[in-house]
Structure 1
Amino acid sequence: MLLELAIGDAYGAGFEYVDSALIRKHNDLSRYVRHPRHNIHRGAYTDDTQMTLAIAEAIVSGEPWTSAMLAQRFVEAFQRDPREGYAGGFYRFLQQVRDGEQFLQEIRPDSDKSGAAMRAAPIGIYPTPQQVIERCTIQAALTHNTRDGIDAAIAAALMTHYFLYHLGPKKALGTFLEEQVGGHNWSTPWSGKVGSKGWMSVRAAITALINSESMSELLKACIDFSGDVDTVATIALAAGSCSSELAQDLPTHLIEKLENGSYGRDYIRELDERLLALRV
């Protein structure tokens, strides 16, 4: 789960909000692409993956699931490995906060964008939808304490849960999500550019998943939407990696070229194993 979503994030980072012509030219999975404007190295993941790792570390730690614990995890993940990719205001905020306590005191948790959804996938490991919803609501409310922000995060977490626990075929994913998180037409196919709202990325990820037969096809489909495609790919590949209906065929060179520093590919693989071992 974590390795695949990091690949989706790193690959998608090169195409985030670029012209459609660049997507048509380079979205062939042959290599990681350097973004024409951002200072992110090819094969490097962004905030999507870094915050997801913080969530996964919190889960495997077994610590009480509290806002304070999660805020501290977010701060520590950034401080140990500062990187670009965060929204400008939140990046500056993380640069100046000392710890989780200050995070909670000073954060303005009123966003309805995709930040809470992009990091939610590991929460799908919990054995019931209700546990997923409860824990995802707590993590989302830290930064995205709006109905749309929280609902998008819950839907993203339930996507991985749906496949991890074999709750149905991928064609019925949208219907399942509508039963659990109403008001967003999750089963309605998405088309066109993906904007910054969390529900948009989730809707696009669902559409790409349902229409794809392999992980390679899925990754390309996520990028073809254009817009906030690294978030779409992060959400979709996390869920797709848990589905028995998708061929697990991501190109070897994308795996090998994913960054591999202290918190890169090898660390992600090890954390992935520990996370998935918790599935009941």
Structure 2
Amino acid sequence: MLVEIAVADAYGAGFEFVEQEVIVAENKLIDYRAHQLSGIKGCYTDDTQMSLALAELMLKDIEWTQENIAEVFYECYKRDPVHGYAKRLQTAFSEAENAAIFARMINSDSFGNGAMMRSVPLGYFNSEAEVIDHATIQASVTHNHPIAIDASVCIALAAHAGLYGKVTLIELPEYLLSLGYKVNSGWHGRVKAISEDTLSAVISNLMGHNCYSTLIRNAVNFGGDTDSVAAISCGVASCYKETKKTLPEHLLKNFSKHSYGLDYLADLDSQLKNKYLADI
């Protein structure tokens, strides 16, 4: 899960909000492309780091509160800064003297996609009620808006349904609807960094593709917030048996981040499976 999120995130980051002509010319899945603003290549962004932070919290058996969630976000960034954070979070990381101050600075009613992009690991919780509760709390830390919270819940439930074998990918929209969440599976065009756009793009991507390579390429082809769509799509797809689970070997080889990199993420993946799925 986290390895797939990281590789898709790092590839998509090179195309984030670039012109469509660049995507047409360069989206060949041959290698990573440097991010147009940071200049960083082959390294994951905030999407993966915040997913990693929540995974670590899940493994620690610490109470699932807004304060503890903000603290793991703060600690993960401070030990290993990565690029891609929204301006308000980047400012908070830079100016907050401790996690408590950071928590106060990042509270917002934004309906951006920052809460949903980190929700995939929450699918490991054992019941739908737990998934909904934990996804709602973590979203409210930075995006306390009904649209952002619902999107966070939908992504976590999508992962949960695959991990626990409740539905196939093609049945996912119907499953979410049965729980009260209506999703659009016919998205076309560029994706804004808002929850509604990103959720629709992810669901549409999952309806049309079931292997990592095509999921990543199609996420980039949408344009806009390409790293978030690619990362969430591959993260959710990793939870389903029918997904062809082979990442491009050259992307694994050329992944440039070593501290808290693919080996660390693979270990977290293993720990999550052992903790939550050992009896399945």
Task: State TM-score, norm by structure 1.
Answer: 0.95
Q: Residue 196 of structure 1 corresponds to which residue in structure 2?
A: 193
Q: Residue 156 of structure 1 corresponds to which residue in structure 2?
A: 155
Q: Does 1:66 align with 2:65?
A: yes
Q: Which residue identity lines up with residue 21 of structure 1 in the other structure?
A: E
Q: Residue 238 of structure 2 corresponds to which residue in structure 1?
A: 241
Q: Which residue identity lines up with residue 162 of structure 1 in the other structure?
A: A
Deviation track 1:203-237 (CA, whole Å, cap 9, x = no partner) reads: 11111111113111111111111111111111111
TM superposition outliers: structure 1 runs of 4+ over 4 Å: none
Q: Residue 253 of structure 1 corresponds to which residue in structure 2?
A: 250
Deviation track 1:1-42 (CA, whole Å, cap 9, x = no partner) reads: 00000111100000111111111111111100113x311421
Asked whether the equivalents of residues 202 and 235 of structure 1 are also in contact (C-alpha less than 8 Å), the reply is no
Q: Does 1:27 align with 2:24?
A: no
Q: Which residue identity lines up with residue 215 of structure 1 in the other structure?
A: Y
The structural deviation recorded for 1:178 is 2.2
Asked whether the equivalents of residues 132 and 157 of structure 1 are also in contact (C-alpha less than 8 Å), the reply is yes
Aligned residues: 277
Across the aligned residues of Structure 1 and Structure 2, the Cα RMSD in angstroms comes to: 1.3
Deviation track 1:157-203 (CA, whole Å, cap 9, x = no partner) reads: 11111111111121111121222243xx4143111111121121121
Q: Does 1:266 align with 2:259?
A: no
Q: Residue 98 of structure 1 corresponds to which residue in structure 2?
A: 97
Q: Residue 107 of structure 1 corresponds to which residue in structure 2?
A: 106
User: Percent of counterpart pairs with the same letter?
Assistant: 36
The structural deviation recorded for 1:257 is 1.7
Question: 1:277 aligns to what SS in structure 2?
Answer: helix
Asked whether the equivalents of residues 185 and 203 of structure 2 are also in contact (C-alpha less than 8 Å), the reply is no
* Equivalent residue runs for 1:63-142 within 5 Å: 63-142=62-141
CA–CA separation in structure 1 for the residues paired with 2:184 and 2:167: 14
CA–CA separation in structure 1 for the residues paired with 2:185 and 2:206: 13
Q: Which residue identity lines up with residue 133 of structure 1 in the other structure?
A: I
* Equivalent residue runs for 1:6-45 within 5 Å: 6-35=6-35, 37-45=36-44
Question: 2:201 aligns to what SS in structure 1?
Answer: helix
Asked whether the equivalents of residues 15 and 229 of structure 1 are also in contact (C-alpha less than 8 Å), the reply is yes
Deviation track 1:46-72 (CA, whole Å, cap 9, x = no partner) reads: 111111110000001111111111111
Asked whether the equivalents of residues 7 and 254 of structure 1 are also in contact (C-alpha less than 8 Å), the reply is yes
Q: Structure 1: any 5+ residue segments left out of the alignment?
A: none
Asked whether the equivalents of residues 185 and 201 of structure 2 are also in contact (C-alpha less than 8 Å), the reply is no
Cα 1:181/1:257, change in 2 over 3 Å: farther
Question: 1:278 aligns to what SS in structure 2?
Answer: helix
Asked whether the equivalents of residues 118 and 231 of structure 1 are also in contact (C-alpha less than 8 Å), the reply is yes
Task: State TM-score, norm by structure 2.
Answer: 0.95
CA–CA separation in structure 2 for the residues paired with 1:252 and 1:181: 39
